[in-house]
Each structure stands twice: as C-alpha cells, then as structure tokens.
Amino acid sequence: MENYNQTSTDFILLGIFPSSRIGLFLFILIVFIFLMALCSNLCMILLILLDTHLHTPMYFLLSQLSLLDLNYISTIVPKMAYNYLLGDKSISLIGCGIQSFFFLTVAGAEPLLLTSMAYDRYVAICFPLHYPIQMSKRMCVLMITGSWMMGSINSCAHTVYAFHIPYCRSRAINHFFCDVPAMLTLACMDTWVYEYTVFVSTIFFLIFPFIIIVYSYGRVLLTVHCMPSIEGRKKAYSTCSTHLTVVTFSYAPFAYTYLRPRSLRSPAEDKVMAVFYTILTPMLNPIIYSLRNKEVMGAVRRVSRRICSEKSYKISMETYNQTSTDFILLGLFPASRIGLFLFILIAIIFLVALFGNLCMILLIYLDTHLHTPMYFLLSQLSLVDLNYISTIVPKMASNYLFGNKSISFIGCGFQSFFFLSLAGAETLLLTSMAYDRYVAICFPLHYPIRMSKKVCLLMIIGSWMMGSINSCAHTVYALHIPYCRSRSINHFFCDVPAMLTLACMDTWVYEYTVFVSTTLFLVLPFIIIVYSYGCVFLAVYRMPSTEGRKKVYSTCSTHLTVVSFFYAPFAYTYLRPRSFRSPTEDKTLAVFYTILTPMLNPIIYSLRNKEVMGALRRWIQRIAL
C-alpha cells in the first residue's frame, strides 16, 4: 500500500478477508449469505406479485423493502468477491462514486420505508375504519416514491461532496466498500464541516424515523392491550414484533456506526458493524417475515400449487385407505415454526450443495491443471453427491409445501434404488481415492502405471456397478415383502429398514443380509482406507521436506474429514440391531449422510486445497478477460 502510485485516481479497498483459511471461510460464508439473500428477497417479491391475497398496502411496502435489500447486498458483495478471487483490490474513482451513491440511496430509503410500514400498522390497528382512506394506493405510491427520492437526493449531495475533496494521503480505504467516513480519513483538508452534515443527515434519516416508529408502536401496543379478542391480540403482537425485529437489526448497528465521533471509531469495528446492515440484514428480513407470518406461508403454498397445477389434499394417517399401494412418508418437518425453519435451512443447504458440486465438476473439467486421477475421482464424488441430495430433498420439499405426504409404490422403489446405488458407489469411490493417495505418496514412481486412465475408469465403473447391483437386490426384495400394517413410513425417504417395520412377515433373514451388505460396503472399505492412510502417514513421517509433509497432511486430512462425515453416521445407523434403533435418531443421522455431506464435501475440498482455489481464480480470470 505504501508503494501504491499516489498519482493514480484509483482507490484500494483493503477488504474484510484476511489472507488465510479464516479469510477463505469468511468468503464462502458471505457468498452463501449473498445467494440466500438474493433467493429469499426475489421469492418475497414474486410471491407478493403473484398472490392476490397479499395485494394489500402492508405487503406492497414489504415488497419494496425486499427490492431495497436486493439492491443493498448487490451493491456490496459482488465487488468484495471479485476483489478477493482475483487478488485485485483496486476500484476506480467512478466505480467508487457509483457504489457510494447506490449504497447511500438504499441506506437512506430503507429507514423511511420502515417508518411507512410502522405508520401502516399504526393506522390498521388504531384506526381500522380509516385504513382504506389513509393507506390508499395513491398514499402507498407516494410513500415509496418519497423514500426513494429522499434517499437519492441525500446520497447525491454526500457523494458529490465526498468526491470533490482532495485525497493526498494513501488511497487505501480500510473498508470493504466505498464508505464515505472511511474515505474522509484519507483527505488532505479538514472535514469537520462535512462530518457535521453527516451527523445531521444521520439524525434526519435515522433518529427521526426511529422516534416515529417507537411512537407508532407505543400507540399500537396500547390499543392491542385494550383489545377484547385474544386471537386479535396475538395476531397484532406477531405482526408488530416481526417489524420491530427488522427495525432493530437495521437501525442499531447503523446508528452506532454513524453517530459516534471520529475519535471513538476504529476501522475493524466499523467493518464488523457494516457486515450487519449491508449483508446480514438483507438476508434476515425475508426470513423473519416468512417465519413470523402465516399469510406469507399460506401464499407460498398457494403459489406452489398453482405453479405445479396440482390440487392440495391432506391425508389423515388414521383413516388412510389400507388397500392403497401408496406409502406415506411422515417426514422430518414438524407442523410448527421449527418445521418451517428446518425446511428453509434444508432448502438452502440443497441449493448450496447443487451449486458447490456443479462448480467442482465444471472446474475439474475446464482446468487442465486438475486433469489428474485424484481430481477425476473427486469429480465423480461430486457427481454422486449431486445425484444423492437430488434423490431425497426435492420430494421432501414437495411433500411439505403441498401437504401431500404420499409416495407411490413405484416412486418409493425408484427412490430406494437410487439412494442405495449412490450410497454404495460413494463408499467404494472414497476407497479408490484413499488408494490413489496411498500409491501417490508411498509409490510415487509407480503412480503413472498403477493410477492410469484405464485403472481410474475401471474404479469408477466398478463403484457404480457394484452399488447398482447391491441396490437392485435390496430394492427388489423390499418391494416383494407383503405390507399389511399401516403404510406410514416414519422417515423422510424410502429407507428400507424403516419400511421393514411395516411388514407382516418375519424379516430376520433380510436384516442379516443388510448387516452383511453394510459390512461389505462400509466396514471393509473403511479398513482399507485406515490401512492406506496408516501407510501414508508412516511414509510422510519419514519425509525430509517439511513443505512436502505439510502438503501431504493437508490433502490426506481433507479426505479423512470427508470419510468421517460420511461413514460414522451411516455405520452407526445400519450396524445397530433393530432393538437399539429409534425413528427419531435414524432420521437425525440420515440428515448427515444424505443432506449435510453432499454440501460439505465441495466446501471441505475447496477450503483445504490450494490447487482447487488456484483453479477457481484462473477460471474467473479467464471469464473476466
């Protein structure tokens, strides 16, 4: 930074990611939050647009809040990610001005919009008969237009002033975006006048709106307290607490940052506070509004039904027709807010797993530096994980959204077949990857022969074929067992051991074959993996090179982490006798090897692997150029 050309008009954004594994972890976390914020805010806007039940002033204002949050996070995160991946922290003077303008516009419009939303609740609860007049369409449009216009005017004034200040010190901004107060520390002139205007502006855009919001909710809570209806009181408290939660998340860190004198501020603290109001709040707002709002969740279900052109129907477990060949999947999500939270969490994990595994496959395919046996096997692991999670989660989500927990007899067979095929293939593939590392480290001169293209293909084809044969045998047997009890499977997918509890015949012979199969596909591969890594660590220990040792430990520990996450819950589930098993415990453990592992594998391999991160940088640079 010291040697940076002082004559350049570009600024340097020092950023928030340290050049270490912690920095990489923070980068992945913020990208994940960014994708989640984009997805949830777009869903909220589309939901309000598509569902006529939400065409009310309150939800019209909420759609605008989601639009603001969408712009808010998109102004900051893409540039952060770009700078980190390419290692280029510069931003042009014009680029800095545009970023600053959009940030201040959205930051100014959001408090005014939250004030409008507080006023909407105040009129709706305190003056319900006046609501259609005081919150007419025209009034809503004026409120929204006013918020955007006042935010833009304020932003324009600040941006123009900030970019007319002469900067003669270092041009390194100790922040992750062009925040005007952080830029002022680089100015060569005394900026106390401008700092005073920032203070006045903050009072106008933060303190006054906050006083109005507090007054509105004070009146609302007083009115609610006097309500005779308990149900009405609950609904009013729920709506207001949702809005107050959002206000707190948005206002508190913002006010703390901008109302402190410069002498009490520190760059590190400012950056941490900025993460709250620029990154976390845009992600949390739509989640808070959906978690705390029955009308939004009702709209989600209605729109889902309309898109899929299916009629929703609820099935009572007690009166379910026993002559039907369909099964009922009792699922993982309880009918409560916890269930909704788990559904949103698993949907996000599913999207991250899809994105992560697809990126890993494309990266290995596109980058010639990764065209080695180790990465060829890793691309197959990502392909298995991609199919693995896609076999389970879409059906879970469909059942939850439509309230229809049934799965056809054939559908159950297909799901069980694909799940067992992929589970069997993954264990053998992880063994092949352990053998690859064993040969590479213990017999490096033999590596090109023992791990040739032909051997790799045979390993992959063998893994898929043996997994499919094992799966076919289990699925055919399971679907030929007579089921004369309840057809409700206490699981979130067609897991054969869970299906066996519904059989009318003694299944001890089949349970014994499950034990033998588990030993063959889990215990024996695990013994081979442990032996391979035992030899590897012994060979590494004798290495004279410290750098070589570090590299090998890093690669092997990555693979062992993946193996542990997959094998431990799988073995614990399938090697226990039926008398020690419980449906709740089985479902919890199944979440690890069917949902979490496919998401974690690409993250672990990218976090612990410099070659993968190098390939990612090269790929992004190629796209950028």
Residue 159: CB atoms within 10 Å: 22
Q: Would the CA dihedral through 343, 345, 349, 351 be positive or negative?
A: positive
Give the Cα separation of 419 and 407 in Å (integer): 15
Residue 485: the pLDDT is: 65
pTM of the predicted model, to two decimals? 0.60
Is 577 in a helix, a strand, or coil?
coil
The answer to whether residues 481 and 507 touch, using CB atoms and an 8 Å cutoff, is yes
* pLDDT tier, 146 (very low <50, low <70, confident <90, very high otherwise): very high
Strand partners, 12: 90, 172
End-to-end CA distance of the chain: 25
Give the Cα separation of 395 and 405 in Å (integer): 9
Q: H/E/C letters for each residue in 166-213?
A: CECCCCEECCCCCCHHHHHCCECCCCHHHHHHHHHHHHHHHHHHHHHH
pLDDT at 6 over 60: no
Domains of the chain: 11-304 (1.20.1070.10), 334-624 (1.20.1070.10)
The answer to whether residues 464 and 484 touch, using CB atoms and an 8 Å cutoff, is no
- pLDDT tens per residue, range 495-522: 888 888 888 877 777 777 878 888 888 8
Give the Cα separation of 241 and 121 in Å (integer): 11
Residue 5: the pLDDT is: 42
The DSSP element (H or E) to which 13 belongs, if any, is strand 11-13
* pLDDT tier, 169 (very low <50, low <70, confident <90, very high otherwise): low
pLDDT at 114 over 80: yes
Residue 143: the pLDDT is: 92
- pLDDT tens per residue, range 203-228: 888 888 888 888 888 888 888 777 77
